[in-house]
Amino acid sequence: MALALFADEDYEEVAARLAGTLADWGGWEKSWGRVPTSGGITQARQRLGPEPMAELFSQFARPVATMETAGAFLGQWRLMSIDGMAWDVPDTPANAAAFGYPGAGKDGSPGAFPKAQVVTVSECASHAAVLAAIGPYALKAGGERALARRLYPRLEEDWLLIADRGFYDWQDWCTAADTGAALLWRFKCDIRLPVLEILPGRLLPVRPDQPEGQGHGPARGRRGRPRRGGARSWPGPARPRHRVRGP
């Protein structure tokens, strides 16, 4: 945890900071000897493995904003967002087996390092990550959606989850909606979205019926009735889609 808190410092500097603090608090035993070296810390982390850190994250990663935090809430909903990123990881046999090497260059030759893909659900106001899934790097949209599917069942009812257009899929939308969370997602412009009701000063788009062959019951969260004269589209290259209940 100290390495995360002092991410800009090298291993030995972090160890010195930690040892100094423990000494001030009377928690450093003289029998422990000198401060660990960088090599010693690396070996200790390898012996520890990822499981304790994953368990620590699952127990303590929580939203931290309060009602007084600027930009943390929209009405009754805590604003959350889902996004993905990719990291190069050390070129070890274990990492190569777990994550693989992404293609690099026009010829598709493997990259120099294995690459991991991470998707997180984070609190918008504090940027605190509260849910995370990690896996092999894949084509950006497809890989992110696959990891995000592991997170949707864990959404909270008082969250409003914001997602970019790369995450939309009908079944994923339904899985997320079934948790009771409010959803505000963008999606690609090739999906037709009829306007069912016009509100003062804005349009109210809602999601269309499910694609053919994908059963999940009728579309949920629909409001109003179809206007006569046919459907109209949301302007722009991407359209927002929402499932927000109440005012």
30-81 pLDDT, tens digit per residue, is 777 788 888 888 888 888 888 998 999 999 999 999 999 999 999 999 999 9
- Could you tell me the pTM of the whole model? 0.73
Rg (CA), the chain: 23
CA distances from 27 to 22, 30, 44 (A): 5, 10, 20
CA distances from 146 to 58, 80, 137, 229 (A): 20, 19, 11, 39
| Residue 242: Cβ-neighbour burial (10 angstroms; 0-12, 13-18, 19+) | middle
Task: For residue range 181-194, list pLDDT tens digits in order.
Answer: 999 998 887 777 66
**Are 198 and 205 in contact, with CB atoms under 8 Å apart?**
no
Report the distance separating Cα 113 and Cα 145, nearest Å: 23
**What is the pLDDT averaged over residues 187-208?**
66
Report the distance separating Cα 96 and Cα 93, nearest Å: 5
Task: Identify the residue with better confidence: 192 or 127.
Answer: 127
**Are 123 and 130 in contact, with CB atoms under 8 Å apart?**
yes
